[in-house]
Chains A and B, each alone.
Chain A
Amino acid sequence: MTALLEIDELLDALESGLRRILSERGVESPLLIGIRTGGVWLADALGKRLGIEQPYGELDISFYRDDFSRIGLNPRVTPSSLPFDTEGRDIILIDDVIMSGRTIRAAMNEIFDYGRPASIILATLIDMGARELPIQPDVVGRALTLEAHQRVKLRGPEPLRIELQESGQ
């Protein structure tokens, strides 16, 4: 295991990307929603960096996963918590890693069950490619291409760090 990615550099990239897109779109008071677990840690970090005072929301997408019919219910499900009304608001949705895009599809379905947001901006720390759905992040910390046996994982919450795991060796 080697930590070849500096978390601060990636967070800097996410922060500046988000500032740019928020100003381009004229979004003044966005709400942050993190996808458990890594996305929630990032929502915390980015909320501080962007000076968003509204507490961030936490999504557990277990009830919305499209592989329920293959693997059953995740036994570690915890309640989602959105401590604000999403109706008509601009949302920044955050996850640590995007690959197939299925997690984001599930998360957006869940968000819409709380109300109809005005917009959603998708921010992910790492983009692994390998998309299976037409979903692209608006802001990315870093795009990565890994070997088949490699996995990347965000560890946290204190300190946040990125681990590159060599599996099957």
Chain B
Amino acid sequence: MTANDPSPNHLQLTRDGQLRHFLTLDGLSQALLTDILDTADSFIEVGERRIKKVPLLRGRTVVNLFFESSTRTRSTFELAAKRLSADVLNLDISTSATSKGESLSDTLLNLEAMASDMFVVRHSQSGAPHFIAESVTPGVAIINAGDGRHAHPTQAMLDMLTIRQHKGRFAGLKVAIVGDVLHSRVARSQIRALNVLGAEEVRVIAPGTLLPRDVEDLGCTVEYDMARGMKDLDVVIMLRLQKERMEGALLPSEREFYRQYGLNQDKLALANPGCIVMHPGPINRGVEIESAVADGPQSVILSQVTNGIAIRMAVMSMAMGGQMAERQQKQQEEQA
């Protein structure tokens, strides 16, 4: 597996620079990320219509291939595919064939035999979607719905859409990401997206035990003290404490974590007045965030969910479009 491939774009993009898989934000240009956000804006309008469906993926089959369980991400991908008129198959592999000993390659061969056009992949192993994109039949698009600690690009992009909706821009914004950065694939993708889109400062706020080594190399500043870290913020993104990923005692106790890094109204008051509060969900109330903040006027957590559908519609239709345009081009070249 090649999770750290420095130039995944030979895989993600067509020769014309159109998306054909969506695996990571690494290497994608500001122009392409902006195209994704603009396209998603148009899909938000579709979600407000009487009939919330467009025919783009009519007759296509999308397989949600979840090797790791998830409710929100899977259901928003499912709804996104259905609003694009695709047929959707949900496979929870963590409880299925692989536990009977079938290999990943065999699972994929079987699914391809069902004439699938797109796999939405979540896997606990970093690089799994990349591996699948390399081995899948040409013409099938792969969308990364979260791989190990590596990336969760659609979550990062729906967060960017939410920020743009509320702030109108990225230039000049100071954004903090608070909490369990170490285990967070979301944080990695967010830092990348914010840098590419031109945020002024990306700050991570966390105890040293929940930060990856050389975290600054991702393109952020580091603050261990939350009160200092909240200063001048326009956006604060809380991360979920990934209890299921904690190996060994990285934390003194949940209560101590909440005291130091939990977001409450007092800490939020230290940020800029219009600072918005985000959280990828599911939230642990009283562990990362106080209910009064999560449900308060500065919280945009529920618009993140709505935006998740639009972003996934955008990425799925762009990747499928790229695959089809590429196929068409190859056919024309063969005829010529």
Contact = CB atoms under 8 A, between A and B. Distances in A.
Contacts of A60: 42
Contacts of A78: 38, 41-42
A18 B19 CA distance: 44
Given A68-B321, A72-B321, A73-B56, A79 B42 contact: yes
Contacts of A68: 56, 321, 324
A107 B55 CA distance: 12
A62 interface: yes
A72 B314 CA distance: 12
Nearest to B51: A113
B50 interface: yes
Contact of B41 (A72, A79, A114): A79
B272 to A, nearest CB: 29
Contact of A73 (B39, B49, B55): B39
Nearest to A76: B38
B45 A72 contact: no
Contacts of A79: 41-42, 44-45
A112 B53 CA distance: 11
B55 A109 contact: yes
Nearest to A77: B42
B44 A70 contact: no
A71 B325 contact: yes
- Of B44, B54, B318, most buried by chain A (CB within 10 Å of CB) is B54
Contact of B324 (A72, A109, A115): A72
B42 A80 contact: yes
A72 B322 contact: yes
Interface string B306-326: 000000000001101110110
A112 B328 CA distance: 30
B42 A69 contact: no
Size class of the B contact interface (CB-based, 8 Å): 20 to 34
Nearest to A60: B42
Contacts of B322: 72
- Of A63, A73, A78, A112, most buried by chain B (CB within 10 Å of CB) is A73
B35 interface: yes
A63 B35 CA distance: 15
Contact of B42 (A63, A71, A72): A63
A77 B38 CA distance: 7
A150 interface: no
B46 interface: yes
A78 B55 CA distance: 17
A109 B53 CA distance: 11
Contacts of A80: 42, 45
Contacts of B260: none
A72 B318 contact: yes
B18 interface: yes
A153 to B, nearest CB: 24
B56 A114 contact: no
A81 interface: yes
Contacts of B53: 113
Interface in A82-104: none
A71 B56 contact: no
Given A77-B39, A113-B53, A114-B49, A72 B18 contact: yes
Given A72-B18, A73-B317, A114 B51 contact: yes
10 contacts: A60-B42, A69-B328, A70-B324, A71-B325, A72-B322, A73-B318, A75-B35, A75-B39, A80-B45, A109-B55
Task: List the 10 closest pairs (A to B, CB-CB), nearest first.
Answer: A72-B321, A79-B45, A72-B325, A63-B54, A73-B321, A113-B51, A79-B42, A69-B324, A77-B42, A70-B328
Interface of B: 18, 35, 38-39, 41-42, 44-46, 49-51, 53-56, 317-318, 320-322, 324-325, 328
